Amino acid sequence: MRFYAVGLNHECTSLKRTESFALDAEDQEALYSNLSLSDDAEVVVLSTCNRTEAYLYGGKADVRQVEALLGQAAGEPWPAETAFRGQDEAAVRHLLQVTSGLRSVVLGERQVFAQVKTAYERAVDAGAVHSVMHRLLHTAFRTAKRVSSETTLDRGAASVSTAAVEMAREDLEAHAGPSSLSEADVALIGAGKMGRLALEALADEAPQSVTIVNRSPDRAREVAASYGGTAQAWGHRHDAVAAADLALVATDAPDPVLSPASLPAPDDGSTLLVDVAMPRNVDPAVADHPGYRVYDLDDLQAWTEDVRERRAAAVPEAESICEELLEDFVTWFFHQQALQPAIQAIRSTFETIREQEVDRHAHRTDMDREEVDRLTQSIMQKLLAVPIVRLKNVDPESIDFAQGIELLHALFAPSEDEPPGRSLPEDSDAARPTLGDAPSQCPYLTHDPAPESDETREVEQALRMSEAMPASEREESPSESSAG
């Protein structure tokens, strides 16, 4: 089928190795601009904190070129000996599972869906995606949505940072004080990686206020500016905790940075402390200090382990959904491949007729030949747009599909007994039949198409594309080759 997935990820190499091949937005734009793929090749490049991968439809030469460009961006040769490479169904399956969270470090994590979507949009903007990869990526998005809605794969917090936020939410709802995180004053003690992850997990909750305390004042101000908070000096950390409804503690200190002797009574009578550091940053004796409730990594690990077990139980069902949509995509792909000769025959026949009629009648108008060509090509494309979209939406199992394609090809392909350039006979007015009242709709339609159906949207898109697209590009139109 000519599908490939290549890349580095946490399953095949170390995080450090993957990080060395990470691509930011500017790197990806440069990679796309340097691509020189074969005519029908398409590619989407994905780079996250745990993977740098490319998904291709094309040939082996295209794969080698993408790998070389990935290495060029990293400043070193592509490590083919350790890199992942999947082909055809394995490549498609990999993309569906990645998008659904089945291949993530944290099983079922949701962020990867948005990352794949951003990668797809960037590839579209770069002109690296056409009909086949359009269809494949939208299949991946449908797969992820079904996995999310039909299984428990992404239910609950399975990382320390998200677990800290979910435990805090439940605790605040159960105790006096703010009824939700959106009403809480939050303090972050430590602005390192774990602290930033906790802030990212909090972002959707939009807390009332966020105070950042860090040993480095510049770092505190930088993180505060990024998350809409305020910075406070390290020496005031105990006061910042006492003023907060929720305090997240995540420093690299080898010893506790919060002690009961230095903590004043909470301003509002109660403060929740969540210590996500290792070793612990909160003196265990703080839990006995009036007004303070403390969770540490032991509590968080117990929480996340339960979630991981529930998520693991959902894997077979999630994989089954991936296999179902993989089969749908492969069926669609071979369906399109089978249709191409018939569609080409239809287009060729219509184009021959158009050229013959333009040659015969061009002298009857003041329009120059170029204008006449544009006009007649536009008419031809509009006439063909709807039937071709409907043809591509025929269920191959609903009819004798192979026989139907052969019939279409026979109807429109030039006959071996006739020269391809032969004109159709002239129609005379006398030979034209008298038409009665036209039916309100095609008598062969068994239903009215739904106004918002996928097919209706595809027809509308095909008509728009046929009107706007230059003739030289029409064969590459996604609307003529795929259903989104």
Structural domains of the chain in order of their starting residue, each with its CATH number? 3-150 (3.30.460.30), 160-295 (3.40.50.720), 331-423+441-481 (no CATH)
Residue 263 tokens, joined: 């903590």
Q: Distance between CA 158 and CA 165 in Å, rounded? A: 11
Give per-residue pLDDT as tens, 8-57.
998 888 878 888 898 988 999 999 999 999 888 999 999 987 899 999 99
Q: Distance between CA 312 and CA 328 in Å, rounded? A: 25
- Under 8 Å CB-to-CB from 379, ≥6 apart: which residues? none
Q: Side chain identity at 261, as an amino acid letter?
A: A
∠ CA 319-320-324, rounded to 5°: 120
Quote the pLDDT of residue 161: 79
Instruction: Work out the burial of residue 263: count CB atoms within 10 Å of its CB; fewer than 13 is exposed, 13-18 middle, 19 or more buried.
Output: buried
Give per-residue pLDDT as tens, 158-174.
677 788 888 888 888 88
Residue 166 tokens, joined: 């979910």
Q: Side chain identity at 422, as an amino acid letter?
A: R
Share of the chain above pLDDT 70, in %: 79
Q: How far is CA 20 from the centre of its chain?
A: 23
Q: Distance between CA 208 and CA 68 in Å, rounded? A: 49
Instruction: Compute the CA torsion angle 139, 145, 151, 153 (nearest 10 deg).
Output: 100
The verdict on whether 49 is a catalytic residue reads yes
Answer yes or no: are the C-beta atoms of 33 and 26 closer than 8 Å. no
For residue 195, which of 170, 226, 174, 172 has the smallest C-alpha distance?
226
Give per-residue pLDDT as tens, 98-111.
999 999 877 888 88
* Phi and psi angles of residue 417, each rounded to the nearest 5 degrees, phi first: -90, -10
Considering 12, 49, 322, 442, which one is annotated as catalytic? 49
Answer yes or no: are the C-beta atoms of 479 and 389 closer than 8 Å. yes
Q: 276: number of CA atoms within 13 Å, CB side?
A: 30
∠ CA 298-303-305, rounded to 5°: 95
User: Coil, strand or helix: which one is 295?
Assistant: strand
Answer yes or no: are the C-beta atoms of 40 and 58 closer than 8 Å. yes
Give per-residue pLDDT as tens, 243-277.
999 999 988 888 899 999 999 999 888 899 999 88
